[in-house]
Chains A and B, each alone.
Chain A
Amino acid sequence: MVLTLWRQPAVRVLLLAIAAVLCVLGFMTINVQTDWAFILQHRGSRLLALLLAASAIGLSTVLFQTITHSRLLTPALMGFDVLFVLVNTLVLLIFGGAELAGWPSSLRVGLQMLLMVGLALLLFRLLFSGSVRSLHLMILLGMLAGMLFRELSELGARVLDPSEFGISSGVRQASFSRVNTELLAVSAVALTLGGLLLLRWRRYLDVLSLGRDIAVNLGVAHGRVVLGIMAVVAIMVSVATVLVGPTLFFGLLIANLAYWITGTQRHRWTLPASVLAGIICLVGGQVLLEQLLASTLPLALVIELAGGLLFIALLLRGVRQ
C-alpha cells in the first residue's frame, strides 16, 4: 500500500512540496533574534528572490530539455544566461552608462529582456534548424559560445571602465546570498508573463517530447510552438540571471533531480518538481550553510561542483548506453 502510494508521481511531488515549505519556514525562522518586522523585510525579500530564481531556472531548464530532446542540454550550458550578461554590457557600451543611469532600472531590465528574447530566438534558430543535430556538438558549441560571451563581457567591462575593473569583475559570479532584490518587481512580472504564455502551450509539452515527427503527426504546429516556448525560456533565463547571476550546472542538477524523483517525464509533474527541487536546493542549502553550519562557503560554488560531477556521470552513462 505504502509502496504503491510512493510510486505515484503526485505523492512524490507532494512530499517535495512539504520539504520545500519546511525549507522556507526554516529560512524565515532559524536564528531570529531581532524584531520580526526587520526579519520579514530583510529575509522576506531575499526569500522571494530565491523562489523566483528557482522557479525561473527550474522551468526554463525542463522546457529547454523538452524542446531539444535531451537531458544534458540546458540553457545555461548553451550559454544563454551569459548571453544576457553580454546584452547588458553591450547596452552599456552602446548607450553609455551615464545615459542609462537616468532610466528606471525596471525599464532598462525590461528592454534588455526583450533584446535577450530576440537574440535567444536567433541563436536557437541558428543552432537547431540545420540538418546536423549531434547532441555532443550542440553542447560543445553552447559551452564555447558561453565562454565566448563571458570573455567578451569581461573585455567590454574592461573597456568601459579600465581603472575600476580590478574591483568589480566583468561577469558577476552567481551568488545566492547576495541576490539582487531591487529588481524583484520586474522579475516577478516577467516570470508571470512567461508563466501565462506557458499555460497556453501546456497541453503540447508532453507531445513535443515525443519528437518532432510525432508531434507534427499529432497536429502540433511544431515550429511555432517550439519558438514560443524558446521565448518563454529566454524570459526565464533573463529573470534568473538578473536575480542571481549566471549559473552553469544548477538547472541541470534540479531538472535531473525532478526526473529522478518523479520517475516520469510528464510535464504536469516534472515542471513543479523541478521548481520545488530548486527551492529546496537554494533555500534549504542556504539555511544549511549559513544558519546550521555557520559556514561562509558560497552555495553557488557548492552547487556548481555537484552539478559538474553530475554532468560527467550523465555523460559517461549516456555514452555507455
Chain B
Amino acid sequence: MTDSRFSPPRASRAGALWLLLLLVLVLVLAVCSLNVGASRLNLLNVLTADPDDRVSKILFASRLPRTLALILAGAALAVAGAILQMMARNRLVDTSTTGPMAAAALGMLVLAIALPDGLPLWARFLLVSGFAAGGILLFLGVLQRIPLRSALIVPLVGLIIAGVVHAGSGLIAHHFDLSQSLRAWNSGDFSAVLRGRYELLWVAAGLTLAAMLLADRFTVIGMGRDFAVNIGVNYGLLMAIGVALVAMIVGSVVVTAGVIPFIGLVAPNVVRVLTGDNLRRAVPMIALLGAAILLAADLLGRLLIHPYEVPSSNLLSIAGCVVFLAVLLHGRKQWS
C-alpha cells in the first residue's frame, strides 16, 4: 500500500509535466505538418504576405485543414479507444481491432451501393456511425456470451470479429465491383483533406470534450457493472452513451479519412504507464498523445517516399502492431 496522503500531489505534478510536454510535442509536430508538402512554404512569409497570395492559399485551403484534421481525429480516436477499453474492461482493444471501424467501412460500402447519388454529409455521418455502433454492440454482445473472460480472449475475439466483418465487406464489395473503393476506405489517410472536407471532425472534437467531462463515470464503468451499480451509477445509460460517443467518433473519422487504426490502443496504453488508470487524469493526455501520434504518422508518410505519400494507416498499423506485441510480451507472465 502506498501512502494515499502523499501520492496524489506527486502524481498530479508529474501528470502536469507530462501534459505540458505532450502539448509542446503536438505544437511542434503541427508546425512541421504545416511546413511539409509538395510546395515549400515559409510560415514567416505568410504573416507578411497578403491573403490572396499563393502561399497563404495553400496554407488555408490545404495545409491548415489537414493539420487540424489530424489533431482532431487523433485526439478523438485515442479517447474513443480509452472509452471502449473501459466498456470492454480490457485494455488491449481499440475501435480498429474489434469491429467498429470495419463496420463503419461496411457502412460506407452500403451507402455507396444503396445511394450512389450521395447524401448530405450529416446523413452519411449518422448512417456510418450507426454501422459503427452495430460493430461495438456486436463485439460487446459476443463478449457477454463468454462466461470466463481471460484478458487475452477479449482482444482475440475482437480481432476475429473485425476480420469477419472485413471479409463480409470484401464479398459485397467484390459483387458490386467496389473493391478498389473499399480498399481506399480501409487504408485511411489525410491526403485528400482540404477546406470544406474536414469540418465534420469538429463534431468529433465536441464528442471528445463530452467524453472528457464524463471521464469519471467511464472509470467506474471499467470497474464492472456490480461496482457501478453499487455506487449508484446508471450503468445501462452510461453504456449507451459510451456506445454512442465511440460510434460517432469512429463515424466522423471514417467518413472524413477512412479507417485509422491503432491510435486508440497505443495512446491509452502509453498514458496508462505514465499516470495510471484513472481516466479523469489520463484523458487529456490520451487526447494529446493521440493527436501527436497521428500527426507524426502523417508527417512520416509524406516524407518517406516524397513526393508520393504512404497512407498514415499503413504506418500506424506497423507502429500499432509493434506496440501491441511489446505490451503482450512484456506482460506475458501475467497472462499465462
- Write the B301-336 contact mask toward A (1 if CB under 8 angstroms, else 0): 000110010100011011001101100110011011
Picked from A132, A148, A312, the residue with its CB within 8 Å of the CB of B333 is A132
Q: What's the minimum C-beta distance from A170 to chain B, rounded to whole angstroms?
A: 9
Complex: how many Å from CA A65 to CA B132?
Answer: 35
Picked from B145, B317, B329, the residue with its CB within 8 Å of the CB of A147 is B317
B contact face: mostly helix, strand, loop, or mixed: helix
Q: B147 interface residue, CB < 8 Å from A?
A: yes
Chain A residue nearest to B159 (CB atoms) is A143
Interface pair B153/A319, CB less than 8 Å apart? yes
Picked from A132, A140, A155, the residue with its CB within 8 Å of the CB of B318 is A155
Q: A31 interface residue, CB < 8 Å from B?
A: no
Interface pair B174/A301, CB less than 8 Å apart? yes
Complex: how many Å from CA A319 to CA B336?
Answer: 15
| The stretch of A43-51, A156-164, A231-239, A253-261 that contacts the partner chain | A156-164
| The stretch of A194-202, A212-220, A303-311 that contacts the partner chain | A303-311
Residues of chain A in range 148-176 having any CB-CB distance to chain B below 8 Å = 148, 151-152, 154-155, 158-159, 162-163, 165, 169
Interface pair B325/A141, CB less than 8 Å apart? yes
| The stretch of B121-129, B161-169, B207-215, B247-255 that contacts the partner chain | B161-169
Interface pair A315/B170, CB less than 8 Å apart? no
Q: B240 interface residue, CB < 8 Å from A?
A: no
Complex: how many Å from CA A298 to CA B167?
Answer: 11
Interface pair B164/A301, CB less than 8 Å apart? no
Interface pair B160/A315, CB less than 8 Å apart? yes
Q: Given A133-B336, A140-B152, A151-B321, A312 and B160 touching (CB < 8 A)?
A: yes
Q: What's the minimum C-beta distance from A177 to chain B, rounded to whole angstroms?
A: 11
Query: In this complex, which of A139, A169, A297, A305 has the most chain B Cβ atoms within 10 angstroms of its Cβ?
Result: A305
Q: What's the minimum C-beta distance from A49 to chain B, rounded to whole angstroms?
A: 21
**A contact residues around B171 at 8 Å (CB):** 297-298, 301-302, 305
Q: Given A144-B324, A159-B305, A296-B175, A315 and B153 touching (CB < 8 A)?
A: yes
Q: A33 interface residue, CB < 8 Å from B?
A: no
Q: Given A154-B314, A301-B167, A148 and B174 touching (CB < 8 A)?
A: no
Q: What's the minimum C-beta distance from B309 to chain A, rounded to whole angstroms?
A: 9
**B contact residues around A301 at 8 Å (CB):** 167, 170-171, 174
**A contact residues around B157 at 8 Å (CB):** 312, 315
Q: B14 interface residue, CB < 8 Å from A?
A: no
Q: Given A155-B314, A296-B174, A316-B146, A132 and B321 touching (CB < 8 A)?
A: no
Interface pair A163/B308, CB less than 8 Å apart? yes
Which interface class (under 10, 10 to 19, 20 to 34, 35 or more) fits B?
35 or more
Picked from A145, A298, A316, the residue with its CB within 8 Å of the CB of B325 is A145
Q: Given A144-B328, A151-B321, A304 and B167 touching (CB < 8 A)?
A: yes
A: number of interface residues (CB 8 Å): 40
Chain B residue nearest to A130 (CB atoms) is B332
Complex: how many Å from CA A133 to CA B164?
Answer: 26
Complex: how many Å from CA A130 to CA B142?
Answer: 31
Interface pair A297/B317, CB less than 8 Å apart? no
Q: Given A133-B336, A141-B328, A158-B305, A151 and B314 touching (CB < 8 A)?
A: yes
Q: B74 interface residue, CB < 8 Å from A?
A: no
**A contact residues around B336 at 8 Å (CB):** 132-134, 137
- Complex A-B, nearest 6 residue pairs according to Cβ-Cβ distance, in ascending order: A162-B308, A136-B152, A148-B321, A308-B164, A151-B317, A134-B336
Complex: how many Å from CA A141 to CA B333?
Answer: 14
Q: A248 interface residue, CB < 8 Å from B?
A: yes
**A contact residues around B150 at 8 Å (CB):** 136, 319
Picked from B147, B156, B317, B333, the residue with its CB within 8 Å of the CB of A136 is B156
Query: In this complex, which of B153, B167, B324, B332 has the most chain A Cβ atoms within 10 angstroms of its Cβ?
Result: B167
Residues of chain A in range 262-321 having any CB-CB distance to chain B below 8 Å = 296-298, 301-302, 304-305, 308-309, 311-312, 315-316, 319-320
Interface pair B321/A134, CB less than 8 Å apart? no
**A contact residues around B335 at 8 Å (CB):** 132, 134, 136-137
Q: What's the minimum C-beta distance from B164 to chain A, rounded to whole angstroms?
A: 4
A-B pairs with beta carbons under 8 Å apart, 26 shown = A130-B332, A132-B336, A134-B335, A134-B336, A139-B156, A140-B156, A148-B317, A148-B318, A148-B321, A151-B314, A158-B308, A158-B310, A162-B308, A296-B175, A297-B174, A297-B175, A301-B171, A305-B167, A311-B160, A312-B160, A312-B164, A316-B142, A319-B146, A319-B147, A319-B153, A320-B147
Interface pair B163/A248, CB less than 8 Å apart? yes
Interface pair A308/B183, CB less than 8 Å apart? no
**A contact residues around B222 at 8 Å (CB):** none
Interface pair A134/B152, CB less than 8 Å apart? yes
Q: B100 interface residue, CB < 8 Å from A?
A: no
Complex: how many Å from CA A312 to CA B333?
Answer: 25
Q: What's the minimum C-beta distance from A197 to chain B, rounded to whole angstroms?
A: 31
Interface pair A312/B315, CB less than 8 Å apart? no
